[in-house]
Amino acid sequence: MKVMHYDAIVVGSGITGGLAAKELTAKGLKVALIERGKNIPHRTGYKQEFTPPWELPFRGEGDKAAWNSDYAIQQGSGQMNEWNQEYWVKDSEHPYTSTSEPFTWYRGYHLGGRSLMWGRQCYRWSPEDFNANAKDGKATAWPIQYDDVAPWYSYVEKFIGISGSRDGLPVLPDGEFQPAIPLNPVETHLKSEFAKSFPGRHVIIGRTANLTEAQPELGRAPCQNRNICSRGCSFGAYYSTQSAALPTAQATGNLTLLTDSIVEQLNYDDDAKKLTGVTVIDRITKEKSVVNAKIVFVCAGAFNSVALMLRSKSKTFPNGIANSSGVLGKYIMDHAVALAAVGEIPGFEDIYYEGNRPTGILIPRFINVDQQETDVARGFVYQGGAYRPSWTRALNSPGLGVSFKEAMRQPGNWRFAMTCFAECLPNAENRITLDETQRDVDGLPALKIQFKFGENELKLVERAHKEAVAMIEKVGGRVLFGMSKPSPGGTAIHEMGGARMGLDPKSSVVNKHNQAHDVPNLFITDGACMASSASQNPSLTYMALTARAADYAHKTFFS
């Protein structure tokens, strides 16, 4: 069997794996970045980026019959379309089972992972978010505080490029921002109306990893206001592994990129009590090889990182590596998400826009902020925005003929959409396990996902719906639609947990450096390490923790 040697291995090339490779190569380490899927090169790999709808066989809608067979789950994401469909995993080839309520697991197995089609919203956690577990006892305390992570937030923000406004809100600390993209006139109006009627509820522009200023050193141009990011962006205007981390890592001359290479298991030496490296299956030839290294960063995406650890069994760890606690796979989370309300907003009929803004608005958490004021724990944020619907409103409108065609020629009335993302409390019953009865196309055991939102999440979403309706009605809007129950788990595509961080090796998998309690040269720095979910989009926190762990690992193992 072929054996290769490096200083460090990074498993997975998505939002954290790409960054880990960039950090470790910058420190002079020889790094193998191992990606299970195919190579999608920056620019030339974005095959449908410039394709107009009339050149697609199904005009962007996709071949529904084929999707029903191959993408039964993925097509429900609301993000998959005919332009970006090759970035989504085929459910027919990579099955899993939901054993409680349906869990929709949205994935992309290719270079860059979901960094290629992510939502790009980037928010810091607040000091309160890191304190919450210790304070209300709903989960194990975080061993790190905001001040431990804040410098790493800054570090990552400067590298990836985030546009946003500095709002001075304690619940959502400001960061190192490029100039903000402005609110539109309706959002500006609502911001001031809400401030009057609902003190503490702030409308801010979404902080997004889309450049408003070029990063010439990386060949990245500012956003062109297309808002078709998930096709891949040849301008390099949004952060992805391809647009920033990979070229930076490659420029050091220290990176070896292995695509179509699945890490079958982490190899543990029972005598030396450490990892020696990993066993890799070539996805095309099915040949196995071994890659050895002094340290291993597991960044395969929360559930796949846990799956890899569960299938890495040894004499010391018969139930999965670094699992002496028995916690591995438990306490998985996803934000409880629902379109809380969308309403028609009167006025502003003579105003329209030109260009497609690559972000929306955010209303940061406003319940249980200064004190526990309700019978539910934690809180939620709203994301959304004000817009004028185009021709697609015709799909659900009565009407025929010349008058119908003429009416659709102009945009519809202004609408304001509010989607809530509610914090998800960790629960041991929500867990993933290996399903030895089902294998994926590569011969690996599938996952069983047991997940159900708890009473607190249901109450939060109900509250979010009620508040959203009240806010829209208060400004004279007419609510068109709204949900008081969360969409299935997984809908937020913020799945996390399963290898949580904590002080106590008996109740957590990694320590405050994202280092496995049981295996010192193993680091898990993606969403698997999360001990609570807060209500903000999590990727920025994963990235900050990754850069922080890389720094620690380098100092500990190579200095």
Partner 1 sequence: MNASVDLTRRRLLIGSMAVTLGLAVTPATLWAKALNEPASHPALPLLELFCDLVLPKTDTPGAKELGVAKFVLSATKHGLRNSSDDTLAVFEKALDQHAKTSFKALSKDKQLELMTALDQKVFSRAPSDLPKELYGWRQVKQLIIIGFYTSEVGATQELRYNLVPGTLKQNVPLKQDSRAWSSDWTGVRFG
> Using the rule CB under 8 A, which residue among 38, 63, 97, 440 binds partner 1?
63
Q: What is the DSSP letter of 335?
A: -
Contact flag: residue 65 with partner 1 (CB under 8 A)? yes
> How far, in Å, CA of 65 to CA of 80, rounded?
15
Read out DSSP for 88-141? SPPTTTS--EESSS-B------BTTGGGTT---B--PPPHHHHHHHHHH-SSPP
Residue 176 Cβ, how far from partner 1 at the closest point, in Å? 22
465 contacts partner 1 (rule: CB under 8 A) = no
Q: Smallest distance, Å, CB 49 to partner 1?
A: 9
Between 230 and 261, name the residue whose CB sits nearer to partner 1: 230
Nearer to partner 1, 342 or 424 (CB): 342
Three-class SS state of 310: helix
Nearer to partner 1, 90 or 388 (CB): 388
Regarding 357 and contact with partner 1 (CB under 8 A), the answer is: yes
Given candidates 2, 61, 101, 286, which one binds partner 1 under the rule CB under 8 A? Answer: 61
Nearer residue to partner 1 within complex by CB, 439 or 478:
478
Report how many residues bind partner 1 under the rule CB under 8 A: 72
Contact region with partner 1 (CB under 8 A), list: 139-147, 353-361, 368-376, 426-434: 353-361
Which x/- pattern, by CB under 8 A, does the window 218-257 give for partner 1? ------xxxxxxxx--------------------------
Q: Does 60 bind partner 1 (CB under 8 A)?
A: yes
Locus of tokens 């999707």: 67
Examine residue 316 and tell whether it contacts partner 1 (CB under 8 A): no
Site for partner 1 in 68-87 (CB under 8 A): 68, 78-84
Which range in 51-59, 430-438, 440-448, 486-494 contacts partner 1 by CB under 8 A? 51-59
Which 365-394 positions form the footprint of partner 1 (CB under 8 A)?
Answer: 387-394
Tell me which residues in 89-148 interact with partner 1 (CB under 8 A).
Answer: 117
d(CA 200, CA 198): 6
Residue (182 or 443) nearer to partner 1, CB: 182
Amino acid at 504: D
Question: Are 249 and 276 within 8 A, CB to CB?
Answer: no
Does 356 bind partner 1 (CB under 8 A)? Our answer is yes
Residue selected from 168, 400, 437, 455 as contacting partner 1 according to rule CB under 8 A = 400
- Exposure of 33 by Cβ count < 10 A (0-12 exposed, 13-18 middle, 19+ buried)? buried
Residue 82 or 423: the one with the smaller Cβ distance to partner 1 is: 82
Do the beta carbons of residue 190 and residue 386 sit within 8 Å? yes
Q: Considering only residues 13, 16, 25, 48, which one is a binding residue for partner 1 as defined by CB under 8 A?
A: 48
**Which residue, among 53, 59, 60, 57, has the nearest Cα to 75 in the 3D structure?**
60
> Using CA atoms, how far apart are residues 338 and 482, in angstroms rounded to an integer?
8
- Considering only residues 181 to 210 of the shown chain, the ones binding partner 1 according to CB under 8 A are 181-185
Nearest CB to partner 1, comparing residues 230 and 525: 230
CB neighbour list of residue 336: distance below 8 Å, 6 or more residues apart:
380, 420, 421, 422, 423, 424, 453, 457, 458, 460, 461, 486, 492
What dihedral do alpha carbons 153, 159, 165, 171 form, nearest 10°? -10
b/e per residue 184-211 (b: at least 16 CB within 10 A): bebbebbbeebeeeeeebbbbbbbbbbb
Tokens of 476: 């004279």
In the region spanning residues 157 to 186, those forming contacts with partner 1, defined by CB under 8 A, are 181-185
